[in-house]
Chain A
Amino acid sequence: MKQLFTLFLLVFAGVACSWVCLLLVGSGELSAGKLETSLTVAGDDVVLETDLGLAARGKQVYRELGCVQCHTQQVRRPGYGGDLERGWGSRQTVARDYVLQDLVALGNRRIGPDLADVGSRRDAEWFYRHLYDPSSLADWSTSPSYAHLFYDKEVTDETSPTALKLEGNDAPDPGFERVPNFDARALVAYLESLKLDYDLPESKRVK
């Protein structure tokens, strides 16, 4: 029993100390209790919000499709890598940017570009086109197509604003249009919401 007790104490010391110091103290420092979410920065009011409505569902679609396997959502500080120079954001991301999010997909791989500020770079039409057929926008892209998020719908009164503009073999039958399903619309709403278009006291945009 003595040996087991010694082993237990050693494992306890390793796991419990790291748990308390890193996770409990660390989480406390990074929580909404510690980081103010409505503040004034250089005269502008900044109110951080959690994703609501369609974008909230879109974030779950982002998780379900495993987008995090290839995309990060974090901009590293100036001088550490070339994230700002690549135009992936005009400032680094900080803990406060994520503080109200119930799902934080920071990511560990950049097979594709960073998406922390992708809503500032692209619009809905581009997102739909990219989801449907990435190679039509970039022949070098290794992103898979998400064509299964689209379906053909009979054109009734007028064409839907979100219908894809397709030509040739890929075009739907006459009288039909190819439109995104609910998940695709939610995902695009979420991607459009990913914007670093505000300043925080600890991270201000580089003009």
Chain B
Amino acid sequence: MTVIGPSPQPPSRDAHGASRLSAEIAEVDRSIRLPFLFFILSGWVWLLAASFFGYLTFWKAHNPEFLNAQAWISFGRVAPAFNAMLVYGFACNFAFGLGLWIVSRLGRVPVRYPILLAVAAIFWNGGVNIGIFGILRGDLNVFDYFELPGYVAPIILAGLLFVSVWVILAFINRRSDAVYAAQWYLVAGFLAFPWIFLIAAAMLFVYPTAGVSQPLVANWYAGSLLWLWFGSVGAALLYYLIPKLSGKPILAYDLARFGFLALVLAGAWTGTARLSGGPFPAWIITVGIASGLLLLVFFLITGINFLGSMSSAPGALSGNTVLQFAFVGSLSLLLSGLASALLPLRSINEVVQFTIVGEARHFLLLYGFFSMVAFAGVYYALPRILQQDWPMAFMIPAHLYTAVIGLLLVVFPLALGGWNQGVALNDPSIPFAEVVRTATVWMLGRSLGWLFIIFGHLAFSLNLVLILVEKCKSVCCPDRDYAEAVKEGVGS
């Protein structure tokens, strides 16, 4: 069990060692530039598309006739398309880029054949593209988190396998002896994702099972995807970023291994908890609920570790916007983890099942936790990879604040409204019309919150476009600053 042994010693700090280390890291950053940009820019385009489709989805939820003349733009199509864009388009691309970067950097091993990774990005994004068009033309599935049509599964699996192999090769070829928590999480996530995806695609589309085995497989996949994949990569990002950004080590690093063990061993078992009350044997649901409770070990250790490390570094958070993104992500990890463990308990689930509380939990996990952490990662990584500062640094706090306001406006109304909806749903003396009205009113918060979130995405976009423009300028015309300085000198 060397892999999850005690915390590795920091590398030697003598001047020679430090300069060699920074030279190696600079080499890694240079080598990953092309695939990293490919993944992040693809994710960014999906983020913009998802911003628009999210707005459509949320607005239609209380204005059903808004843009409803044709099937492709009706609620039943844009809602799954939005979710697929957010999960497979935006979040996965960011996870690929950042995961590759961190595993290469911690191993101090430059990426080999980066052009092949760009091919992998083309496969993945081409597949997701075809899938989204498929959803809009009616080839969608009835399963949450597997809305994409089955025929794109081989294409995106090919892209995914490529990236996974590169991550694992980078881990095998690492030049550093130490193995850090971020590496365990990343390797585990990249090992698990292709596997769970393959199982789900095979059991749903290649050898489709009949009957309620289908929702069983789909929910197993959804639970595994959320925790084994997004949970692993998100935790890895936080384990890497927080010490870098706060200048302090992780508070209780020695406990990290228990959190990791809990996630890897129990992460794939949690999905069936959502089937509670459905046409399934009780043991299948009980296993899901129990493993959700086991995951509390992961949520509590990581959540408290991250939040504790940030608050133990006095003054580190104030003025450090990127660390504040990580802080919001850590807090959301803890809250969405608690929600995932406690909501399936039968007495609570009886009320919240089928209500918009589920949407609140989903949003807190995917956006509040994973996306916020991924934004922190990109804000930290891109200036280092491009050797170029963010041109509009004041837009980073604007992104953070709008995202936080948006998150609060989305999550709290959905959670409170969902509880009211569930109580009303279970009381047959309340007419169903009243139940629908209750839920609809609370959904207004989500539509408003999403507008704030879109504004944040625009702030991010502005910085992203400008940093690339600045970089292009400095590459194409390296002497420009000098030329301008001379011109100004002549003018005065």
- A residues adjacent to B (C-beta < 8 A): 1-4, 6-8, 10-11, 13-15, 17-19, 21-23, 26-27, 29-32, 35, 63-70, 72, 74, 76-77, 80-82, 85-87, 92-95, 97-113, 134, 138, 140-148
Q: Which of B287, B356, B436 has the most chain A CB atoms closer than 10 A to its own CB? A: B436
Please state if A101 and B138 are interface contacts (CB–CB under 8 Å): no
Per-residue CB contact flags for chain B residues 250-266 toward chain A (1 = under 8 Å, else 0) read 00000000000100111
A-B residue pair count with CB separations less than 8 angstroms: 230
Per-residue CB contact flags for chain B residues 354-375 toward chain A (1 = under 8 Å, else 0) read 1110110000000000000000
A-B contact list, 11 entries, CB within 8 Å: A10-B188, A13-B265, A22-B269, A26-B213, A27-B217, A64-B140, A81-B277, A81-B353, A106-B212, A140-B436, A142-B61
8 new A-B contacts, CB < 8 A, other than A7-B187, A27-B217, A148-B70, are A10-B265, A26-B216, A30-B212, A64-B138, A65-B76, A86-B428, A106-B215, A144-B60
What are the 3 A-B residue pairs with the smallest beta carbon separation, nearest first?
A66-B76, A85-B428, A64-B138
> What distance in Å separates the Cβ of B352 from its nearest Cβ neighbour in chain A?
10
- Asked whether A94 and B138 contact (CB < 8 A) given A27-B213, A66-B77, the answer is no
Q: Which residue of B lies closest to A76 (CB)?
A: B277
Please state if B425 and A94 are interface contacts (CB–CB under 8 Å): no
Please state if B210 and A68 are interface contacts (CB–CB under 8 Å): no
- Asked whether A99 and B188 contact (CB < 8 A) given A7-B3, A64-B140, the answer is no
Please state if B76 and A23 are interface contacts (CB–CB under 8 Å): no
Please state if A67 and B76 are interface contacts (CB–CB under 8 Å): yes
CA separation between A107 and B279, bound complex, in Å? 12
Q: Which of A14, A72, A147 contacts B228 (CB 8 A)?
A: A14
- Asked whether A142 and B191 contact (CB < 8 A) given A65-B71, A86-B432, A106-B212, the answer is no
Please state if A144 and B74 are interface contacts (CB–CB under 8 Å): yes
Please state if B277 and A98 are interface contacts (CB–CB under 8 Å): no
> What distance in Å separates the Cβ of B68 from its nearest Cβ neighbour in chain A?
5
Please state if B287 and A22 are interface contacts (CB–CB under 8 Å): yes
Please state if A23 and B217 are interface contacts (CB–CB under 8 Å): yes
Please state if B350 and A141 are interface contacts (CB–CB under 8 Å): no
> What distance in Å separates the Cβ of B366 from its nearest Cβ neighbour in chain A?
15
The answer to the question of B313 belonging to the interface, with a C-beta cut-off of 8 Å to chain A, is: no
- Asked whether A140 and B437 contact (CB < 8 A) given A95-B211, A98-B212, the answer is yes
Q: Which of A18, A64, A72, A86 has the most chain B CB atoms closer than 10 A to its own CB? A: A18
> What distance in Å separates the Cβ of B100 from its nearest Cβ neighbour in chain A?
16
> What distance in Å separates the Cβ of B327 from its nearest Cβ neighbour in chain A?
28
> What distance in Å separates the Cβ of B50 from its nearest Cβ neighbour in chain A?
16
The answer to the question of B492 belonging to the interface, with a C-beta cut-off of 8 Å to chain A, is: no
Q: List which B389-407 residues lie within 8 A (CB) of chain A.
A: none
CA separation between A182 and B4, bound complex, in Å? 61
CA separation between A147 and B68, bound complex, in Å? 9
Q: Which residue of A lies closest to B185 (CB)?
A: A7
Q: List which B118-177 residues lie within 8 A (CB) of chain A.
A: 138-142, 144, 168, 171-172
The answer to the question of B267 belonging to the interface, with a C-beta cut-off of 8 Å to chain A, is: yes
Please state if A105 and B142 are interface contacts (CB–CB under 8 Å): yes
Please state if B212 and A104 are interface contacts (CB–CB under 8 Å): yes
> What distance in Å separates the Cβ of B157 from its nearest Cβ neighbour in chain A?
15
- Asked whether A23 and B199 contact (CB < 8 A) given A69-B80, A109-B354, the answer is yes
